[in-house]
């Protein structure tokens, strides 16, 4: 990882999702996250990366160390140029899936992180950003 603890990975295959997960795990453990927090972050990363792959047709993950005052955290941004989400609120509902999933990924990722933001509109792709503080 370069000096700025900033890593970009493309997501276009299933192994890429695993790779994103491992990169998130690596940064989180370097920063000193507990095993439980690492696992939460990794699981959220997995959900978002897979959504970008399945629904967004592939995308890009940016993983970075975040410093805010005395707080340290990991910020993950997953971006795709796919069809976008029409109704974000609905997509966040537990059990709502337009695919064959459990419909828990997006809402789960929100519950697994401290900060969560979705930017999406039909035809304009989707960007999900999450942060978890140490």
Ligand X SMILES: Nc1ncnc2c1ncn2[C@@H]1O[C@H](COP(=O)(O)OP(=O)(O)OP(=O)(O)O)[C@@H](O)[C@H]1O
| Partner from Mg ion, other proteins, ligand X, none contacting 35, C-beta within 5 to 8 A by type | other proteins
Does residue 83 bind ligand X (CB under 6 A)? yes
Instruction: Considering the complex, state which of residue 17 and residue 27 has its C-beta at the smaller distance from Mg ion.
Output: 17
Does residue 57 bind other proteins (CB under 8 A)? no
> How far apart are CB 120 and ligand X at their closest, in Å?
7
Of 24, 61, 91, 112, the one binding ligand X by CB under 6 A:
91
Contact 42, 24 (CB under 8 A): yes
Which residues make Cβ contacts (< 8 Å) with residue 87, sequence separation at least 6?
Answer: none
Of 29, 39, 97, 129, the one binding ligand X by CB under 6 A:
97
Contact 108, 93 (CB under 8 A): no
Going across the sheet that includes 126-133, the strands are 6-11, 59-68, 71-80, 126-133, 115-120
3 state DSSP class of 94: coil
The radius of gyration of the chain's CA atoms, rounded to the nearest angstrom, is 14
Does residue 56 bind other proteins (CB under 8 A)? no
Contacting ligand X within 28-47 (CB under 6 A): 47
The closest of 31, 38, 44, 42 to 5, measured between CA atoms, is 31
| Partner from Mg ion, other proteins, ligand X, none contacting 63, C-beta within 5 to 8 A by type | none
> How far apart are CB 91 and other proteins at their closest, in Å?
14
């Amino acid at each position: 990882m370069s000096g700025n603890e900033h890593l970009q990975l493309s997501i276009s295959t299933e192994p890429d999702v695993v790779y994103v997960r491992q990169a998130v795990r690596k940064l989180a453990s370097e920063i000193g996250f507990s095993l439980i927090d690492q696992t939460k972050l990794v699981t959220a990363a997995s959900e978002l990366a897979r959504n970008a792959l399945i629904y967004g047709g592939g995308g890009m993950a940016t993983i970075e160390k975040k410093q805010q005052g005395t707080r340290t955290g990991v910020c993950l941004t997953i971006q795709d140029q796919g069809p976008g989400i029409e109704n974000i609120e609905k997509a966040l509902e537990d059990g709502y899936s337009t695919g064959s999933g459990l419909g828990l990924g997006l809402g789960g990722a929100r519950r697994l992180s401290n900060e969560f933001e979705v930017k999406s509109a039909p035809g304009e792709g989707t960007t999900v950003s999450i942060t978890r503080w140490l």
